[in-house]
């Protein structure tokens, strides 16, 4: 039994947290949360009083601390510091540092390909694995939006991700795991509503199977038409965005375009619908979508070839994410 974890849960409960029927052990996804009694529901709820705004978190000599200007009482501050040092010292820092170290040592050709495909941004490529950058990455992997603020929530962030599980629940009183029927399996939830293998790799540093893969940036001139089609190559839309495309001059601009999906016909139907809104026919969509599909397959295949081998650690996760996307895109149909 992890006595530090049990102590943590007792202290968590003393501040209004709920951690019912859970234990920490290793499973198929590494360390995760499991029910103690599989006949009862497991639940974690972090009250809003323990949610910490990311700007209040700092690090000094490998020790996480909470700024004095935070909203916490002395005892709450002590608990939150105890919790995040617990998470930091149990491989949280190692995982974040390994990812940044891998990014910083990538060959220039791979860095350029990842940037051109929209799989990373320049800020990530410029990050170094120093203590402050590792802390930022550690926080980025754990933040959730609560009432418009980026916050961290103790304990529930130990739960692992599954693209096919329900999302976490944001309630007025705090953040909680979704209700799941009793069973022996690991407690899981979906980290974000719109995710792809490459967006999960960029955000969290691991590869996983997802429902959808998104297109890289492109611009295609349509013969016999006065309109071009371009894609920004974003890995999903913001939840507040109601429209994913616009017509600007002679260009139909698409912010984010699914090119692979477990529902194999969905990417083409979505593409056809967007083109139809711009007055382009189904025949144009049937002519263009295979080109979009092939350039997306080629971009990922070229990256896989450039990586040369699956490797280990962070490199292995990138390799797997690319292969998951190739699988999704390769299975898509187009009329």
Give the domain-ending residue among 163, 180, 204. Answer: 204
User: In this predicted model, which residue has the larger pLDDT, 143 or 226?
Assistant: 143
Answer yes or no: is 104 within a domain.
no
Predicted local confidence at residue 248, as pLDDT: 82
258-288: per-residue pLDDT in tens?
999 999 999 999 999 999 988 888 999 999 9
Position 239 scores a pLDDT of: 64
pLDDT value, residue 30: 87
Residues 288 and 158 in one domain: no
Q: Are 20 and 154 contained in the same domain? A: yes
Asked if 19 contacts 44 with a C-beta cutoff of 8 angstroms, the reply is: yes
Reported as a pLDDT band with limits 50, 70 and 90, residue 311 is: confident
Same domain, 194 and 229: no
pLDDT over threshold 90, residue 50: yes
pTM confidence score: 0.91
Shared domain check, 279 and 191: no
pLDDT at 241: 67
Residues 221 and 321 in one domain: yes
Q: For residue 103, tell me if it sits in a domain.
A: no
Last residue of a domain, one of 204, 232, 252: 204
Determine which of 134-138, 178-182, 215-219, 263-267 has the lowest per-residue pLDDT on average.
Answer: 178-182
54 lies in the same domain as 168: yes
CA distances (Å), 315 to each of 126, 219, 321, in order? 18, 30, 10
Residue 105 domain flag: no
Last residue in a domain, options 158, 181, 204:
204
Flag whether 120 is in a domain: no
Question: pLDDT-derived band of residue 225, with 50, 70 and 90 as boundaries?
Answer: low
**Given this model, what pLDDT does residue 4 score?**
79
216 and 200 part of one domain: no
Q: Are 8 and 31 in contact (CB under 8 A)?
A: no
Whether 253 and 297 share a structural domain: yes
Q: What is the pLDDT at residue 1?
A: 54
- Encoding tokens for residue 307? 């990586």
Residues 176 and 198 in one domain: yes
pLDDT of residue 92: 82
Is the pLDDT assigned to residue 45 strictly greater than 90?
A: yes
Query: At residue 219, does pLDDT exceed 80?
Result: yes
pLDDT given for residue 247 in this prediction: 86
Number of domains making up the chain: 2
In a shared domain, residues 166 and 247: no
Q: What pLDDT shows up at residue 322?
A: 97
Higher pLDDT, 318 or 236: 318
> Are residues 186 and 232 located together in one domain of the fold?
no
Range of the domain at 247: 212-330
pLDDT in tens, 77-130: 999 999 999 889 887 889 999 999 999 999 999 999 999 999 999 999 998 889
The whole-angstrom separation of Cα 186 and Cα 158 is 11
Please say if the pLDDT value at position 307 is more than 60: yes
**Domain annotation covers residue 47:** yes
Using DSSP's 3-state secondary structure scheme, residue 31 falls into: strand
107 falls within a domain: no
Specify if 269 maps to a domain: yes
What's the whole-number mean pLDDT along residues 301-315?
88
Task: Calculate mean pLDDT across residues 187-206.
Answer: 90
Give me the residues paired with residue 43 across strands: 20
| High-pLDDT (> 90) share of the chain, % | 70
pLDDT of 176 reads: 93
* pLDDT at res. 140: 93
Q: How many residues does the chain have?
A: 335
Please indicate, yes or no, if residue 121 is contained in any of the structural domains.
no
Alpha-carbon distance of 52 to 73, in angstroms, equals 12
Question: Any long-range contacts for 111-117 (C-beta under 8 Å, 24+ apart)?
Answer: 113/299, 113/302, 113/303, 113/306, 114/303, 116/216, 116/217, 117/216, 117/217, 117/233, 117/299, 117/300, 117/303
Share of the chain above pLDDT 70, in %: 98
Per the listing, tokens 């799989």 go with: 119
Tell me: do 231 and 142 sit in the same domain. no
Task: Please tell me which residue, 296 or 61, carries the higher pLDDT value.
Answer: 296
Instruction: Give me the pLDDT at residue 31, please.
Output: 87
Residue 146 has pLDDT above 70, yes or no: yes
């Amino acid at each position: 039994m992890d006595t530090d974890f049990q102590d943590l849960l007792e202290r968590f409960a003393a501040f209004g947290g709920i951690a019912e029927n859970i234990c920490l052990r290793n499973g198929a996804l590494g360390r995760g949360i499991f029910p103690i009694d599989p006949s009862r529901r497991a639940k974690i709820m972090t009250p809003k009083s323990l949610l910490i705004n990311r700007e209040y978190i700092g690090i000094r000599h490998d020790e996480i601390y909470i700024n004095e200007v935070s909203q916490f009482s002395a005892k709450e501050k002590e608990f939150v510091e105890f919790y995040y040092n617990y998470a930091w010292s149990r491989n949280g820092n190692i995982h974040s540092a390994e990812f940044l170290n891998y990014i910083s040592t990538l060959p220039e050709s791979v860095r350029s390909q990842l940037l051109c495909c929209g799989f990373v941004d320049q800020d990530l490529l410029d990050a170094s694995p120093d203590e402050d950058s590792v802390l930022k990455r550690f926080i980025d992997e754990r933040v959730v939006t609560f009432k418009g603020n980026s916050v961290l929530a103790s304990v529930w962030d130990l739960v692992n991700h599954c693209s096919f599980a329900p999302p976490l629940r944001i309630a007025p009183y705090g953040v909680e795991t979704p209700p799941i029927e009793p069973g022996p399996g690991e407690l899981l939830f979906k980290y974000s509503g719109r995710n792809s293998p490459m967006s999960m790799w960029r955000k969290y540093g691991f590869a996983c199977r997802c429902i959808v893969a998104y297109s890289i940036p492109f611009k295609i001139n349509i013969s016999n038409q006065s309109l071009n089609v371009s894609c920004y190559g974003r890995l999903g839309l913001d939840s507040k965005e109601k429209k994913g495309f616009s017509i600007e001059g002679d260009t139909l601009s698409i912010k984010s375009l699914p090119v692979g999906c477990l529902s194999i016909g969905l990417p083409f139907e979505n593409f056809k619908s967007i083109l139809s809104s711009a007055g382009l026919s189904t025949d144009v969509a049937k002519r263009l979508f295979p080109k979009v599909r092939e350039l997306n397959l080629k971009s990922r295949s070229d990256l896989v070839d450039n990586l040369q081998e699956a490797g280990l650690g962070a490199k292995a996760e990138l390799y797997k994410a690319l292969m998951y996307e190739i699988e999704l895109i390769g299975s898509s149909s187009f009329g």
